[in-house]
Amino acid sequence: MFSLFILQISDIIKELFIWFGVFKLKKVLATGVRFKRATKIYEYLSADFVEKAGDKVVVEAEKGEEIACVVYPSREIEVDNNTQFKKILRKASESDFAAKQANLVDEAAAVKVCAELAERNDLQMKLLLAEYSLDRSKLTFYYTSDTRVDFRQLVKDLAKIYRTRIEMRQVGVRDATKILGGFGVCGRELCCSCFLRKFENISVKAAKGQSTNPAKILGICGRLMCCLLFEKGALPVEITEETGISELTVSESVEEKI
């Protein structure tokens, strides 16, 4: 909650600096892309060969190249004058898709190898996923752990085997659930896996008026369900903590519809 407050304050200060001319803005033609479903959208310099949303392209990534999907076709945006954009290299070809498919096969095998090495080194960690960059210049392993893990020897062993840059990335339980996927108590695919691009802070107040039973408001990650935010303030039913009995209360929005 505190980190979110600091982020909001920094955004307000930046807006004030822009307003008073401290920060200079520039207009650029940018294309928004995502690397996976329900993930953050990144802005890249537009290219002539990108025509519409849904196009698959190869872009410059943090280390190496990656296949991405166009979400927002080329349009003009305003950014800080010092903002640097990476480039869209080309439209994804059949050879790019074939390389991606080969990487998927090798990634599954890499998870097993890494798990065996972690067990051999007595490391308390749960491996979730391995990901190659398209050009295989980097291999990233995602894991969860309740304790701090010293994986220096593990990285050395993996580098000897795969002859590429190795990165170990620890994620929280919500991100782990997003990676693994699954189905909620509603019977539908998890919100975080199919459309949520970022996690919002969810307080107990969001569950007010729904249930006092933890089993009904906790997701499979063990945290409060993300969908509580969608329903907050929309339900006309309130649950009393003393009795647990629903009391019908008609809100103004509902009353207007009636």
* Predicted confidence (pLDDT) per residue in 167-216, tens digit: 999 999 989 999 888 898 888 889 888 888 888 887 777 676 666 677 77
Distance, CA of 126 to CA of 147 (rounded, Å): 11
Whether 4 is covered by a domain: the verdict is no
DSSP element (H, E) containing 133: none
CATH code of the domain in which 167 resides: 3.30.300.20
Domain boundary among 115, 136, 171: 171
Determine contact, residues 76/111, Cβ cutoff 8 Å. no
Whether 17 is covered by a domain: the verdict is no
Check whether residue 87 and residue 102 sit in a common domain: no
Whether 18 is covered by a domain: the verdict is no
Check whether residue 80 and residue 100 sit in a common domain: no
Does the model's pTM come out above 0.85?
Answer: no
Q: Rounded mean pLDDT of the chain?
A: 81
Give me the sign of the Cα torsion angle 192, 196, 200, 206: negative
pLDDT (0 to 100) of residue 7: 52
Check whether residue 86 and residue 107 sit in a common domain: no
First-to-last CA distance in the chain?
37
Check whether residue 88 and residue 102 sit in a common domain: no
Check whether residue 222 and residue 162 sit in a common domain: no
Q: What is the domain count for the chain?
A: 3
Distance, CA of 253 to CA of 217 (rounded, Å): 24
pLDDT (0 to 100) of residue 240: 43
pLDDT (0 to 100) of residue 16: 57
- Could you list the residue range(s) of the whole structural domain that residue 245 is in? 195-257
Domain boundary among 48, 77, 92: 92
pLDDT (0 to 100) of residue 251: 39
Check whether residue 84 and residue 102 sit in a common domain: no
Q: Are strands 165-170 and 138-144 parallel, antiparallel or unpaired?
A: parallel
pLDDT (0 to 100) of residue 246: 42
Tokens of 36: 């996976």
Model confidence at 244, pLDDT cuts 50, 70, 90, reads very low
Whether 222 is covered by a domain: the verdict is yes
**Residue 63: CA count within 13 A, CB half-sphere:** 12
Model confidence at 113, pLDDT cuts 50, 70, 90, reads very high
Q: Is 163 left (phi over 0), alpha (psi -120 to 50) or beta?
A: left
pLDDT at 75 over 80: yes
